[in-house]
């Protein structure tokens, strides 16, 4: 975690998101899809993702609440699209 001169953390706002996909394969597909989209303002928002036990785990940290809200909201939009795509086309698909 980064620190600023006054000793307080730069990343004062954070939240976690956990989505259970029921399988490591589906969670990994969503992870791979979303991992290519980097944060537009990495000096203001950090996003860490990982897959564990068929779940996508995402941790957000931001310097201000408004940056956290904007990043989380944009992420959920693309997460929803990726999830709907897997629901529609992913079951039994041959890659």
Eight-class DSSP state of 9: B
Establish if 48 belongs to a structural domain: yes
Supply the range of the domain harboring residue 26.
13-88
Establish if 30 belongs to a structural domain: yes
Residue 12's nearest CA partner among 61, 56, 45, 46 is 61
Q: How many domains is the chain built from?
A: 1
Q: Could you list the pLDDT tens digit for every one of the 95 residues in the chain?
A: 333 344 456 889 999 999 999 999 999 999 999 999 888 889 999 999 999 999 999 999 999 999 999 999 999 999 999 999 888 876 654 43
pLDDT of residue 4: 39
CATH code, domain carrying 22: 3.30.310.50
Alpha carbon 27 to its chain's center? 12
């Amino acid at each position: 975690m980064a620190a600023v001169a006054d000793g307080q953390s730069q990343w004062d706002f954070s939240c976690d998101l956990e989505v259970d996909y029921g399988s490591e394969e589906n969670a990994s597909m969503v992870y791979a899809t979303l991992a290519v989209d980097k944060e537009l303002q990495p000096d203001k928002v950090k996003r860490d993702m990982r897959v564990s036990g068929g779940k996508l785990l995402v941790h957000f940290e931001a310097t201000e609440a408004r940056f956290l809200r904007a990043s989380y909201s944009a992420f959920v939009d693309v997460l929803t699209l990726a999830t709907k795509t897997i629901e529609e086309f992913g079951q039994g698909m041959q890659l």
